[in-house]
Amino acid sequence: MAKDRQAHIGIFGRRNYGKSTMINKLAGQQIAIVSEVPGTTTDPVKKSLEILGFGPVVLIDTAGFDDVGELGLKRMEKTDNTIQRVDLALLLICDNLLGEQELRIIEKFKDYDVPFIVVYSKSDLSEPQETIKEKIISLGCSDFVVFNKDMDVSDLTHSITRCIPESAYSNPSLLGDVVKHGDIVMLITPIDIEAPEGRLILPQVQAIRDVIDNDAVCVVLKEREVDTFLLKTKIKPALVITDSQVFLKADASIPKDVPLTSFSIMLARFKGDFASYLQGTPKLSRLQNGDRILLLESCTHHVSCNDIGGSKIPRWIANFTGKQHEYDVVSGFDNLPHPIESYALVIQCGGCVISRKQLINRLKPAIDAGIPVTNYGMAIAYVLGIYNRAVAPFVQMKDISEDYL
């Protein structure tokens, strides 16, 4: 299967355990500072490289999880947050030590469903004992590799290629179970102040490619051209995908017997927790005055005066509920300004620039805490009164409880 994206591999371990040395050996160049001084690596350091016989990966060198002091606690927090973003973890141990800190980080790997390889580092100074190997294997690691600065990395790279899950580098089709050979798919793509100069936004590009990959025909046009196109061509699309911001215009223009959804909902089904979204979206009807709502955006961008997360969605929700709410908008993987339990609802963007695993892990604290979650497109469709139609291309309506609709 083709490798559509770079797998992310996190390097974890105590300070001065050889993480930077190993990442330099894997990369074949000096990209991380190597020093005998503990705590040389502070913020996570990323490096993209090609593993021979496998493909592109991103290595993330993290600060030691035994850091000390107030600054050390902040570094360790960043190290812990990195776990949510990686597809595979390499945990370095030394001197036959497997202490509480290693066990804690292993539990975090398991909590976020991250496979991990234990690398016994600095083996030239201390060989691994059989008891430590048995203990590590009993903890559910994917592999155990011995390494030191004088060794080549062939054993390690072979282990990595065996243990990276296929989901880390290859994605299923966006629309393969919805469209078929020869279908005409219409994409409605507004060109407004938030559209990048001279190009389409990533979800639109991804949809075009997926339609073509499924041997279907793709028609791309702006919202104001839809009525004229349908009238002149008499074409009846098999599916219409619109930008969520012009949902009402698309709903009015597209015949009711033509399936209609949005790019954001397409991504919600493709890489989000779609079942949880279906359950969480109707909670919009139960919001109360003063409820705090969290909007999660996966990318970082300059905010315009009419930004969808910071402006449009809050306005649409206020018009729908007739109540006043508090909003926090968090970009990328930034820390939340309030505990997750403070929120009545979490609304996640489509997540076009991150992996499914990263998005699922981003939502996990809310879902574990019982906080309803939804998606930008699904929330917009719900408050605009076209939710049933917008999700119908991806669900059997008879299979969804009335509580969800």
Domain boundaries, the chain: 7-168, 184-265, 273-404
Q: Kindly indicate the confidence band of residue 193, based on its pLDDT and cuts at 50, 70 and 90.
A: low
pLDDT of 167 > 80? The answer is no
Q: Kindly indicate the confidence band of residue 23, based on its pLDDT and cuts at 50, 70 and 90.
A: confident
End-to-end CA distance of the chain: 37
Q: Cβ(351)–Cβ(327) under 8 Å?
A: no
- Give the count of beta carbons closer than 10 Å to the beta carbon of residue 162: 11
pLDDT in the model for residue 269: 93
**pLDDT tens, 264-288?**
999 999 988 999 999 999 999 999 9
For domain 273-404, give the fold. Answer: Rossmann fold (3.40.50)
And the tokens for 323?
């109540």
**pLDDT (mean) for 374-395:** 96
**pLDDT (mean) for 248-265:** 97
pLDDT in the model for residue 156: 92
pLDDT of 391 > 50? The answer is yes
Q: Kindly indicate the confidence band of residue 196, based on its pLDDT and cuts at 50, 70 and 90.
A: low
For domain 7-168, give the fold. Answer: Rossmann fold (3.40.50)
Instruction: Note the Cα 294 to chain centre separation in Å.
Output: 17
- Give the count of beta carbons closer than 10 Å to the beta carbon of residue 181: 8
pLDDT in the model for residue 68: 67
The larger pLDDT score, comparing residue 5 to residue 12, is at: 12
* Domain at 184-265, CATH class: alpha beta
And the tokens for 144?
């155990």
Planar angle of CA 335, 339, 340, nearest 5 degrees: 90
Which amino acid type is present at position 238?
A: A
**pLDDT (mean) for 21-27:** 84
**pLDDT tens, 352-384?**
888 888 899 999 999 999 999 999 999 999 999
- The residue behind tokens 């919600």 is 268
Report the range of poorest mean pLDDT among 28-37, 137-146, 187-196: 28-37
> What whole-number distance in Å separates Cα of residue 402 and Cα of residue 392?
14
**pLDDT tens, 203-212?**
999 999 999 9
